Every structure is written in C-alpha cells, then in structure tokens.
Amino acid sequence: RQLEGALHKALSNQELTVVYQPIISLDGKQIGCEALLRWHNEALGEVPPGRFIPICEELGLIITIGEWVLYQACSQAKAWCNRFQHPLFITVNVSSIQFQRADMAKVIARVLRETGLDSRCLTVEITETVLADNAQNILQQLLTLREMGVELAIDDFGTGYSSLSYLKRFPLSKLKIDRAFIRDLPDDQEDRALVKAIISMAGNLNLKVVAEGVETQSQLEFLQTLQCDYSQGYLHSKPLSASAFQEWFVTRV
Ligand code: G
Ligand code: G
Ligand code: MN
Ligand code: NA
C-alpha cells in the first residue's frame, strides 16, 4: 500500500521514464523499438513494471500514465525520424484498461497529431485480454486505428487463454512470440515445432512475426531459417535510455 501512495505521485514527481529496446528485421533493413516504462522512487528504488503496472491498472492510473508513455514515445520517435532520415517504427504497450474507455482511438489520433509522428510509424501492442473483451466498441476502435495507418501487434503471443479465432476477427498486423517459446531454441524439439508452426500460420494470415527474448546467435540463425520477420532481445540490446538508444541507432544506420 506504500506502493499505491507513491504511485499516485510518481508522474508529477517525474519518477517515471521511458526506455527503448531495439527491434530489428531479420534482413537488417528495418529498425524499430519498443517503449517500456520504468519507475524509480527514492524510497522504493527501481520498481519492476511487472509489479507496478498491475497496480496502475487497478487504480485507474494507467489511463494518465499510459497516455503519457504514448506521448513520450511518439515525440521521441518523431525527433529521431527528423534527425536521422532513416525510418524508425515505435511500439507502445496499451493496456486493456485503456481500451475500455470508448475514445482510445481518438486519444492516439490526438497524440499523433500533436507530436507530428506519421501514423504508419506507430505500432500499438495489445494483449489477448483486449481481444477477449467481447465489446463491439473495442473492435471498432481497432478498426479505426488501422484505417489511420497505425499497426496492431498482439503481445506475449501463445501465453494467453483466448481462442485463435481473434486472429481472423481483429485487424492485426504483427504477432510477438512470447520469449518463453524462444528461450530453449534451437535445442528444444517441441519449442522448435511450436515456433515453426506459429511463423507458418502467421505467414498464411498475412501477419508479421516478432520473436521476443532473442539472446543468442543460434536462436537468431534458427529464426532466420524459418523466415521470421523481426527479432528483439538482449542479443541486440537490452532496453536503453533515449540517449543510449540514439547512440546505438547511429551505429546501425
Ligand atoms: O521488459 P519489462 O520488464 O519492462 O516489461 C515488463 C512488462 O511490463 C511487460 O509485459 C510489458 O509489456 C509491460 N510494460 C512495460 N511498459 C509498459 C507500458 O508503458 N504500458 C503497459 N501497459 N505495459 C507496459
Ligand atoms: O511483455 P513485453 O514483451 O512487453 O515485455 C518485454 C519485457 O521483456 C521487458 O521486461 C524486457 O526487459 C524483457 N526482455 C527483453 N528482451 C529480453 C531478453 O532477451 N531476455 C529476457 N529474459 N527478457 C527480455
Ligand atoms: Mn510488449
Ligand atoms: Na512479451
């Protein structure tokens, strides 16, 4: 409960920051990054997002904090696009609680307008929870986002409980394979079969695939043989501060 009190003030006390983890297409041509929230509190130290984000969701704070992350990420991406003349996409996690408000698509449209970021440079990451919510309104908002040019990725793919039918019903563009399936590649025969099947299914559904948690060269080589589209993980880089990401980026383009 100490956490709750501190969280209420985290944003106004400027304790929140956004870090950026590189995502690279397997052909090396496209570069992007995932925006990830960090919280450093004087008394509590560095609190991991897995601990404080669920509390933000419970308290409804994720509405303001989520919008702040979106704004930070889009204005940063816009600044990098201007500076480097090299296309860069940014992916931002949007919680199911944020999608429960009827105007999430409008919020995203406004942030894009205010920051000047091209909508095609933004990918919104949602979890299966968003899609499991049967509200017609959610489908409508996701369709609106796609019409605007924003891409939609399903995060942590393979770990949820929902049926695969949502892959057909929702206008998704990318699927992020959860790192649990990548960890034991290329040795584990079952994970090999699963990842192979996921990539092949995604290809047939016209979805791009991002492999998460790629830590070794042999994992990357295996993913290359399967024609996976993108990889993300410690092999390329851990999440970086904005200035460290910028340094990393200039060495790549
Ligand atoms: O890699 P990291 O430890 O930062 O992420 C832990 C979890 O927190 C991940 O599931 C990630 O999706 C989630 N997360 C990180 N940043 C955000 C954010 O800005 N919004 C939401 N909703 N989730 C986030
Ligand atoms: O659930 P989501 O994919 O949004 O969360 C990303 C989380 O994964 C972050 O907490 C990030 O720090 C973590 N992460 C990113 N790359 C790797 C990796 O290569 N290995 C491990 N173990 N974790 C990773
Ligand atoms: Mn994510
Ligand atoms: Na994930």
CB neighbour burial string for 193-226, b if at least 16 within 10 angstroms, e if fewer:
ebbeebbeebeeeebbbbbbbbeeeebbebbeeb
Residue nearest to atom 12 of ligand 1 (CA): 93
Residue 252, pLDDT score: 86
- CATH number of the 2-247 domain: 3.20.20.450
Are the beta carbons of 29 and 229 closer than 8 angstroms?
Answer: no
Tell me what pLDDT residue 160 has: 81
Q: Please, what sign has the CA dihedral across residues 118, 64, 37, 212?
A: negative
Neighbouring residues of 146: CB distance < 8 A, sequence distance ≥ 6: 152, 171, 173
User: What dihedral do alpha carbons 232, 234, 188, 152 form, nearest 10°?
Assistant: -20
Name the residue at shortest CA distance from atom 18 of ligand 2. Answer: 213
Going from the Cα of 22 to the center of ligand 1, the distance in angstroms, rounded, reads 15
Q: With beta carbons less than 8 A apart as the criterion, state whether 230 and 26 touch.
A: yes
Strands 174-177 and 151-157, bridge-based pairing: parallel
From the CA of 90, how far away is ligand 2's center (Å)? 16
What is the per-residue DSSP string for 39-74? EEETTTEEE-HHHHHHHHHHHTTHHHHHHHHHHHHH
Q: Whose CA is nearest to atom 22 of ligand 1?
A: 95
Q: pLDDT tens, position by position, for the chain (253 residues)?
A: 789 999 999 999 999 999 999 999 999 999 999 999 999 999 999 999 999 999 999 999 999 999 999 999 999 999 999 998 888 999 999 999 999 887 999 999 999 999 999 999 999 999 988 888 777 889 999 999 999 999 999 999 988 877 788 898 899 999 999 999 999 999 999 999 999 999 999 999 999 999 999 999 999 999 999 999 999 999 999 999 999 999 999 998 8
Which residues does 1 contact at the CB level (< 8 Å), separation at least 6?
Answer: none
Closest CA to ligand 2's atom 14? 213
Radius of gyration of the chain (CA): 18
Ligand 2 pocket check for 98: Cβ under 6 Å: no
Find the 31 Cα to ligand 4 centroid distance in Å. 18
Look up residue 231 and give its DSSP letter. E
Enter the pTM of the model.
0.97
Q: Is the CB of 45 under 6 A from ligand 1?
A: no
List the shell of residues around ion ligand 3, using CB closer than 5 Å.
Answer: 93, 125, 155
Verify whether ligand 2 is closer than 6 Å to residue 239 (CB atom). Answer: yes
Atom index in ligand 2 nearest the CA of residue 212 equals 16
